[in-house]
Amino acid sequence: MDRSKAPPLQSLSLPSRPLTSHAIAWSCDAELAIATIEGIHIFLPEYPRSSGDGEKPPSERYATSPQFPLFMHTSGSLRPDPAINAQLCLFAGVHELPPPLPPPGAADAAGGFPGVGSGKITGAGASLGQIIRVEWSPSGLGSNLRPVLTALTGHGAITCLGEYIDLRKPEASTKQVRSFKNWRILWGLGAQLPLPILDATRCAELGEDVQIMSERITAFSWAKEILPGRALLAYETDDKDVVIMAVQFYSRNRAPDEKGWDIREIARFDSSGPHVTVDELDPDFVVSGSAFSLRWSPWVTQEGKKVAVLSYITNNHVGFRRVVIEDAWKQGETPSVKVDQHDMKGICLSLSADAFLDWENISYNDNGVISMRGIVASPFILHPFQIPVTGSLIAAIPRHMTSLCSTTYPTQDVPTNPITGLVIHHADPSSPSPVPHYSLVRQSCTATNQDWFQTTLPEDETPMPQWAEDIGQQTVRRISRARALRGKDIDSDDSEDDDLDLEQDIGIEKLESEGPGGAGALTEGDVQMQEPDSGSSERQVHPRRFRLWGLAASPGDGCTAAVVSKYNTQHPNRRDRAEVVFGWYVPPEGDGDDDTAAVAAATYNKPMPARATTEARVWEWLYGRGPEVPGTTHATDILTLASSMSTLRHQFRDVLPRIHCVFCDTRVWENGAEAICDKGHSFATCASSGMPIMAPGISRVCAVCGLRCLQTAELAKLAREHLGHDVPLDLSAEICGGCGGKFIV
C-alpha cells in the first residue's frame, strides 16, 4: 500500500471541553479516548488494507475520508450500579447480587447513591459521577486480546468499558468491519460495587461469597504489559491506601468461547508518606494528590523474576514501592507477588495539587544494578530523577515535618502556568541522553505567554508538531480591534474592509467607555498600536487564546495528539467546545537516487517497542517513523508468510489429509491460498492453521489485513477430533495468522 493513500489525520471536533487535565489517552492499538464534561469520546482507527496479487487496489476513499471514522460518545455520568458486576460475579460462580441502587430522586435514598469514603461530602453521596480520568489497559484484557478502557468517576469508582463478544452466537462472526455495537460496561471497582470473594478460606470465615467495596477511589494506574490476559491494576483510596489488584481475562473449563474476568486483591500498603499531616486550617496547609498520582514503571527481569516500581505522590513527597512477581503467573491462578514493606526510595519535593510523574520506557544496567529514569512535574516545574530498581532495600524515611526537609515552600520561582500534559519520548539505548527527552504543554497559551509548548528533542531530527506550529501562529497573529469585535472571519487571512458600519462604531465606543473593568476589557498583551500605510493609528489585537487539556503520544512515539479549546479574546466564550489536534512525521522527499533513498529510509525508520502490536506498528508506519509491516503495508503473499510464522500450522500439518469435503466427501488438498477437493469444490483457508473454512459462522475477519481465521472454539474442536484431547492450542489462535492483527469480532 502506498503511504500517500493513508486516510488524512485531521483534527477531531468535540462538543464539550474536558473537566480536568491529562484528558486524553492513547491505547496500545492506537485507539483514542478523551474525557470531557459530557462524557467519554472514543475513536477507533482505520487501517487501509494492501492489495495482493490479482486483487483490486485499495479503495480511493482512503485518500479522502479522514482517519478515525468510527467514534462513540458515552454518558457524562457513570452510575456505580451493582448490576455492572453481574457478569464478573457470574463468572466466579456467584448468582445472587445485592439489590440495585434506587433511581435518582427515590424517597428511600437521595440520589440513589449512599456515598463512600471518609470525606464529609463524598461520604454522604453528594459527589457527582462525572469522568475525571481515563486510561487504557495493556493489550489482552478484552475480547480478541484488545485493551479495555477504564474511567475514574467522582463517585469514587473505576468503571471498565470495552467489547464483549459472545462467540457462541453465530451472527457475531459475520461482521466485516468494526463497530461499537458490542461495547459494554464490563465491570467496576469501589463505590459500593460487589466483588466476588475468590479465596475459599476467607469466604468461609465471612460466610459470604461477595464483598461490598466501601472504598472511595481517588487515583488508579495500570501496570505495563506482563502476559496476554493478565495485568496488575493499582488504585488509591481517600484513606491513603494503595491497593494492587490482579486482573485476568480467560476461559475456564477449557471452553474458548466462554470468557470472563477474574479480579482479586493481592497487596495493600499505606501511601500517606513520611510528612506529618498538617491541619487544614494551618496557614502552611497545601492540598496534595490527584487522580494522576499513581504510575507504574516498565517491567525488568532479574533472576527470572519480573520487577517494577509503583510510584505515588502524596504531601510534598514522591514514594517508590517495588513490586516483584516471583514465579510464572499461570492463567487462572493468583500470582505470587511480593511488595516491599516500605518505599525503596523517596524524594521530598515542594509539590502543588495535581502534581504527576511519568517514566522513561527503558532501563539502564550499571555494573549489575538496574536503574530507571523519569520526570516529576510539580506541576509547574520538572524534576528529573533516576532510581535503582534492584539491589538491597534501604531504611525507610522517618516521619518529619516539611520544614525539616525545606519543602513547605518552593525554593525557586514558580511559573504560574501549570503543566497539563507530558510525554517522555522513547529513548535510544545506543546513545542515551543525560536526562530523558520530553515534550510538554502548559495550560494557557496566549500572545504574551509563549512557554506553553516545550520540547528537548533535537530540532534537526524532529521538527515541531503541526498542531503546535498552527496554534503558535494563531496566537501571535494580530488583526484590527474593530474586526475582532465583529467576531467574524478572525481566523482568515483576508484583508479587512476599511469601511465599518455605524453599529460597529457604536460597539467600539461602548466598550472603550466601560473602561478596564468592562465586559470587553483587554489585557496589555491583547492590544497593541500599529501604524498602517494610510498614516492613521489603528488598534491591533490578538484575537485568539487557547487552553490545552492534555498531550499524548502514539504507541510507537511517532506522532502526538493534544486536546485544545479555543477562545476569542474580545468576547465571552459561549460555546464550550474542544478539538483533538495531531502532529505526525512527514518523511523527506528523495531525489530519486537509490543510495539517497536508502539513507532516507534508514533515517525514517525507528525501532518499535518489543511488545508493539500489529495495529501499533501499522499506525507508526502510516503516521510515525516505523518500518513497514509485512503482510499489511505492502503487497505480500500473506499466506506464505503465515506458513513460516504460525506454530498452529505445524500443529495441524497432519490434519489436512484427514479432512473431507462437506459437499462430496472427497479428500481436500491445499492449492495456494485455497483448499480444493477432488471434485473441484474450493474453500478459503484459515490464515492461522491452514485448515479449510467449510461452513459459515465459524471464522473471524482480521481488522488489519482482512484475512479469515477459524474461531478458537472450532480449532479446539478439530484438535480434539484429530490431535487428541490434551493438545493445547498455541496463543496465535487468538490473533491473525497472517499479520498478527486482532479480529473484528
| Res 321: pLDDT | 96
Over pLDDT 90: what percentage of the chain? 42
Among 173-182, 245-254, 515-524, name the one with the lowest average pLDDT.
515-524
CA angle at 346 for the pair 292 and 308, rounded to the nearest 5°? 65
- Cβ count near 420 (within 10 Å): 27
Q: How confident is the model at residue 56 (pLDDT cuts 50, 70, 90)?
A: very low
- Answer whether 319's CB lies under 8 Å from 385's CB: no
Task: Quick: pLDDT tens for 202-234.
Answer: 766 666 788 889 899 999 999 999 999 999 999
> Residue 505: pLDDT band by 50, 70, 90 thresholds?
very low
CA 168 to chain centre: 30
For residue 168, what pLDDT band results from cuts at 50, 70 and 90?
low
Q: How many angstroms separate the CA atoms of 446 and 222, rounded?
A: 35
Q: What is the pLDDT of residue 604?
A: 62
pLDDT of residue 283: 83
Answer yes or no: are the C-beta atoms of 363 and 371 closer than 8 Å: yes
Examine the pLDDT at 410 and tell me if it is beyond 80: yes
**pLDDT at residue 172, as a whole number:** 57
Residue 666 reports pLDDT greater than 80: yes
Position 669 pLDDT exceeds 50: yes
pLDDT at 497: 41
**In the prediction, which pLDDT does 499 show?**
38
Q: Which is higher by pLDDT, 720 or 229?
A: 229
List the single range of 105-109, 292-296, 317-321, 656-660 with lowest mean pLDDT. 105-109
Asked whether the predicted pLDDT for residue 5 surpasses 80, the reply is no
Q: Check whether 582 has a pLDDT greater than 70.
A: yes
More confident residue, 506 or 555: 555
pLDDT reported for residue 55: 40
With vertex at residue 742, the alpha carbon angle to CA 740 and CA 745, rounded to the nearest 5 degrees, is 145
Instruction: For residue range 423-473, list pLDDT tens digits in order.
Output: 999 998 888 889 999 999 999 999 988 889 999 998 877 889 999 999 999
Is the pLDDT reported for residue 110 higher than 80?
no
Q: Which three cell numbers stand for residue 598?
A: 536508502
Residue 496 has pLDDT above 50, yes or no: no
Residue 603 confidence (pLDDT) above 90: no
DSSP, residue by residue, 124-192: GT----BEEEEEEPPTTSSGGG---EEEEETTS-EEEEEE---TTSGGGGG--S--STTEEEEEEESTT
pLDDT on residue 97 = 76
- H or E stretch at 88: helix 86-91
By C-alpha distance, which of 116, 124, 182, 178 is closest to 153? Answer: 116
615: nearest Cα among 144, 251, 53:
144
Please say if the pLDDT value at position 320 is more than 60: yes
| Whether 80 contacts 153, CB under 8 Å | yes
User: What pLDDT score does 517 carry?
Assistant: 36
The count of C-alpha atoms lying within 13 angstroms of the C-alpha of 301, restricted to the half-sphere facing its C-beta, is 4
pLDDT for res 516 = 35
The model's pLDDT over 174-197, given as tens digits with 9 standing for 90+, comes to 677 888 888 999 999 998 899 998
Q: What is the mean pLDDT of residues 39-53?
A: 77
Confidence of residue 515 (pLDDT cuts 50, 70, 90): very low
Alpha-carbon 741 to chain mean position = 18
CA atoms within 13 Å, Cβ hemisphere of 652? 29
pLDDT more than 70, % of the chain: 80
Report pLDDT digits (tens) over 606-650: 778 878 999 999 999 999 888 888 877 665 555 555 555 567 787
Check pLDDT > 90 for residue 562. yes
Average pLDDT of every residue of the chain: 82
Higher-confidence position of 480 and 533:
480
Least confident stretch, 49-53, 514-518, 573-577, 705-709: 514-518
Cα distances (angstroms) measured from residue 34 to each of 135, 234, 500: 9, 21, 42
- Report the range of poorest mean pLDDT among 105-114, 136-145, 328-337, 567-576: 105-114
The DSSP letter of residue 416 is S
Mean pLDDT across the stretch 225-253? 93
Structure confidence by residue, pLDDT tens digits, 112-130: 678 888 888 788 876 678 8
Instruction: Determine contact, residues 263/246, Cβ cutoff 8 Å.
Output: yes
